[in-house]
Amino acid sequence: MNNLITRNLFFCSIFFVIISCSEISSRNTNLSNQKKGELYDTVSLAIVGDLMCHSQQFNQAKKDTGYDFNPAFAPVKKYLESADFTFGNLETVTAGAALNYTGYPMFNTPVQYLDALKNAGFDVLTTANNHSLDRGFVGVEKTIVELNNRGFLHTGTARSLDERNNSLILTKNNTKLGVLAYTYGTNGIKIPDGKVFCVNLIDTLQIKQDILKSKQSGADVVLIFLHWGNEYQRFPNDSQKSLENYIRKNGGLLVFGSHPHVLQPVNASNDYKTGFTIFSMGNFISAQRKQYTDCGIIVKMKLIKNLATNEVSVSKANFVPTYVSTQNGFRILPVYDAIESINNKNVNHLSYTSSIIEQTRIKEVWNETNKHMTNMNVGFTALEQ
């Protein structure tokens, strides 16, 4: 990969001239390579933005016997569980009932929320965000214990320096993916004395070292999750752009952003080969209802590794627009499925809503999200199935 990146950066301008950035040319290249007998490995990813749990969500999930968050994820489960690895940003802690369950502004969520995420198909949760320390260091520790108990892979917070330095690497067949996560801050909550390892803050030198270490540990490609940007801004700010640039220069090709609570576009060029950044994936679930905060996307991405050259690249990336319905409890609806069920009056469909206000909004969300997120140069378009 290092050679590939260097080569691509060096010849970037030439690439622009001689290669038309279309998905078709990539497919043709892959096809001709395959004809030569080269072998490929593929890994599929599904990635979402902020997994919030406001008090309205856990109040509605409360049952006589505990909490049940499963219905929220049922309509999108098929899109999540079908990927080799499914990622989300856990923007809360599970510090236990004794420390009180609360929503905004300092979150602590019943642990059944994690059960529902597991059941929905999530494999990897990033935990570096401005709410990592909402119950202090104890919250960091307890959340990691609960994540481990459920078999989640996770990164972003740590209980010790050793744990922090043992960076996450995912393996599928012959492909290894490094995963790193950082946050701009912790809402002014001071990092406990002597425990700087407990949450990964955005620090350019540290990120550079971590990317290098991840590659030295065998990662073919490194996925970097950044909790950054301005809340409710639909476009990236200058510091996001300069950090993206820095990360690409230092070998981080894939950047997935969260925190603004609204979608921000992708930046990808040269058939993804110089990198793919999605500045913000928006809210996947929350109780926020304002325009643009009530929707998000599932990024569906396929990585391909050429086993002859060991190069890993993005072969395909698309998105599934989503909308959070509050009719009959919180439910994340895949927008295309919801529109189909509305048009067909399929009232028993998992993605159906009978609320006329929601039906109207869902159709708006389809148009808004397509307009904002589609990048035809690299075939980043909405999936209709």
Question: Which residues bind to Zn ion, rule: CB under 5 A?
Answer: 129-130, 259
Shorter beta-carbon distance to Zn ion: residue 102 or 269: 102
CB of 105 to Zn ion, least distance (A): 11
CB of 46 to Zn ion, least distance (A): 21
* Contact criterion met (CB below 8 Å) for 316 and 301: yes
* Cα 155 to Cα 127: distance, rounded to the nearest angstrom: 6
* Cα 181 to Cα 167: distance, rounded to the nearest angstrom: 10
* Cα 245 to Cα 344: distance, rounded to the nearest angstrom: 46
* Contact criterion met (CB below 8 Å) for 127 and 143: yes
Shorter beta-carbon distance to Zn ion: residue 154 or 176: 154
CB of 187 to Zn ion, least distance (A): 8
* H or E stretch covering 124: strand 124-126
Shorter beta-carbon distance to Zn ion: residue 37 or 105: 105
Instruction: Answer left, alpha or beta for residue 146, where phi above 0 means left and psi between -120 and 50 means alpha.
Output: alpha
CB of 259 to Zn ion, least distance (A): 4
Shorter beta-carbon distance to Zn ion: residue 324 or 339: 324
Residues 6+ away with beta carbon under 8 Å from 378? 21, 23, 266, 268, 269, 271, 272, 276, 317
CB of 79 to Zn ion, least distance (A): 23
CA distances from 273 to 57, 178, 249 (A): 40, 17, 13
Shorter beta-carbon distance to Zn ion: residue 288 or 341: 288
Q: What are the tokens at 282?
A: 């928006």
* Contact criterion met (CB below 8 Å) for 128 and 154: no
CB of 321 to Zn ion, least distance (A): 21
Strands 175-183 and 168-172: antiparallel
Shorter beta-carbon distance to Zn ion: residue 91 or 337: 91
Shorter beta-carbon distance to Zn ion: residue 5 or 124: 124
CB of 244 to Zn ion, least distance (A): 18
For Zn ion, the nearest residue by Cβ is 259
* Cα 176 to Cα 165: distance, rounded to the nearest angstrom: 17
Shorter beta-carbon distance to Zn ion: residue 86 or 126: 126
CB of 129 to Zn ion, least distance (A): 5
The 8-class DSSP code of residue 382 comes to B
